[in-house]
């Protein structure tokens, strides 16, 4: 199969490695000449170009650009494609992408491989990045079954765990488990650093341990990614934040009113609920 990949960063590069290794013909597109040269030199693409023309031969094209430029990329790309080409993206938000692209390209299927590393760029690309990780596809009722079938087979060939769902369900689920945690965690860091007494702040720096490290991790991540999540999944994230604030207020009220049985009931619920998300045994610490 001829597979096009637009954007040769961590995700695009890792897709190229696996798909080229499987024997597909991989056509890479990058804005930068040096990235094209690099991809050819590494032997992970068969063809690399800064323009879209070679993609006219592709059966499937993966759009691996940042969220913010997917739509304009599609507008520039589609004049080069036969209508049979299957288009998919790898963006972390699906509803606005699918709404924008599906009407102009019926063979478009939104995708979200939930894999990554702390690094980015082609240098960080690696084999088997998607193995044993969730890969969500969000076809519509109007999506041609043959397109779903072909893309599904490729996703499964990466060793990924495939989920098919509505774009809106994807965005609601990731608002809870991915985007809300970033804002919750960032607010934690913001409040700690607002401590006005320098002695207390220094002590907080010194005493912070695994609890703070874990709870603050995603709030101390890449600011551009955080903004992108908020921007593209704004409605669902705001809905999640409003619900979060209610639950925070409930906990605060329990503590204010010294209602320890109610606080214990809530903390028991969270202790029991967490393993359903994380495949870990109940924690006792």
- Restricting to residues 219-248, which ones interact with a second copy according to CB under 8 A? 219-227, 230-231, 234, 237-238, 240-248
Q: Are 127 and 17 in contact (CB under 8 A)?
A: yes
Q: Minimum Å distance from CB 237 to a second copy? A: 6
Q: Are 98 and 108 in contact (CB under 8 A)?
A: yes
Q: Are 218 and 182 in contact (CB under 8 A)?
A: yes
Q: Does 276 bind a second copy (CB under 8 A)?
A: yes
Q: How far is CA 167 from CA 111, 112, 163, 222, in A?
A: 9, 10, 11, 25
Task: Provide CB contacts within 8 A for 89, sequence distance 6+.
Answer: 62, 63, 64, 70, 97, 101, 110, 111
Nearer to a second copy, 32 or 257 (CB): 257
Identify which range of 45-53, 128-136, 142-150, 152-160 contacts a second copy by CB under 8 A.
128-136
Positions 203 through 222 that interact with a second copy (CB under 8 A):
203-209, 211-222
Q: Minimum Å distance from CB 92 to a second copy? A: 11
Residue 103 in tokens:
């009407």
Residue 179 in tokens:
């985007």
How far from chain centre, in Å, is Cα 56? 28
Q: Minimum Å distance from CB 2 to a second copy? A: 31
Nearer to a second copy, 106 or 226 (CB): 226
Positions 131 through 190 that interact with a second copy (CB under 8 A):
133-134, 136, 163, 165, 169-170, 172-174, 176-178, 180-190
Nearer to a second copy, 51 or 121 (CB): 121
Q: Minimum Å distance from CB 285 to a second copy? A: 5
How many Cβ atoms sit within 10 Å of the Cβ of residue 210?
Answer: 8
Identify which range of 25-33, 50-58, 117-125, 150-158 contacts a second copy by CB under 8 A.
117-125
Helix, strand, coil shares of the chain, percent, nearest 5, are 55, 15, 30
Residues shown for the chain: 285
DSSP code for 180: H
DSSP code for 68: G
Antiparallel, parallel or unpaired: β 47-49 and 25-29: parallel
Q: Does 194 bind a second copy (CB under 8 A)?
A: yes
Q: Minimum Å distance from CB 72 to a second copy? A: 18
Q: Does 191 bind a second copy (CB under 8 A)?
A: yes
Q: Are 122 and 38 in contact (CB under 8 A)?
A: yes
Contact letters for a second copy, residues 250-269 (x by CB under 8 A): xxx-xxx-x-x--xx-xxxx
Q: How far is CA 101 from CA 31, 63, 158, 195, in A?
A: 21, 12, 25, 47
Nearer to a second copy, 24 or 170 (CB): 170
Positions 44 through 63 that interact with a second copy (CB under 8 A):
none
Q: Does 33 bind a second copy (CB under 8 A)?
A: no
Nearer to a second copy, 100 or 225 (CB): 225
Q: Minimum Å distance from CB 266 to a second copy? A: 6
């Amino acid at each position: 199969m001829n597979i096009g990949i637009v954007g040769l960063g961590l995700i695009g590069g890792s897709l190229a490695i696996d798909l080229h290794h499987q024997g597909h013909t991989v056509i890479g597109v990058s804005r930068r000449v040096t990235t094209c040269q690099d991809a050819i030199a590494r032997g992970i693409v068969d063809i690399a170009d800064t323009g879209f023309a070679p993609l006219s031969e592709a059966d499937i094209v993966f759009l691996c650009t940042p969220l913010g430029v997917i739509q304009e990329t599609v507008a520039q790309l589609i004049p080069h494609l036969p209508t049979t080409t299957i288009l998919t993206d790898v963006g972390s938000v699906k509803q606005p992408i699918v709404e924008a692209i599906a009407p102009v390209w019926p063979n478009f299927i939104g995708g979200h491989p939930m894999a990554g590393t702390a690094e980015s760029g082609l240098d960080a690309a690696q084999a088997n990045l998607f193995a044993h990780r969730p890969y969500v596809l969000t076809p519509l009722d109007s999506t041609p079954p043959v397109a779903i079938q072909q893309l599904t087979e490729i996703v499964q060939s990466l060793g990924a765990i495939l989920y098919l769902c509505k774009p809106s369900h994807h965005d609601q689920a990731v608002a809870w488990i991915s985007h809300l945690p970033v804002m919750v965690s960032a607010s934690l860091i913001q409040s700690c650093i607002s401590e006005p007494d320098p002695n207390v702040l220094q002590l907080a720096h010194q005493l912070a341990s695994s609890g703070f490290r874990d709870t603050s991790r995603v709030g101390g991540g890449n600011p551009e990614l955080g903004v992108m999540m908020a921007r593209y999944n704004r409605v669902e994230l705001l809905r999640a934040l409003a619900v979060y604030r209610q639950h925070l207020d409930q906990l605060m009220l329990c503590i204010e009113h010294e209602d320890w049985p109610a606080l214990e009931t809530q903390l028991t619920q969270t202790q029991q609920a967490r393993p359903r998300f994380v495949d870990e045994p109940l924690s006792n610490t």
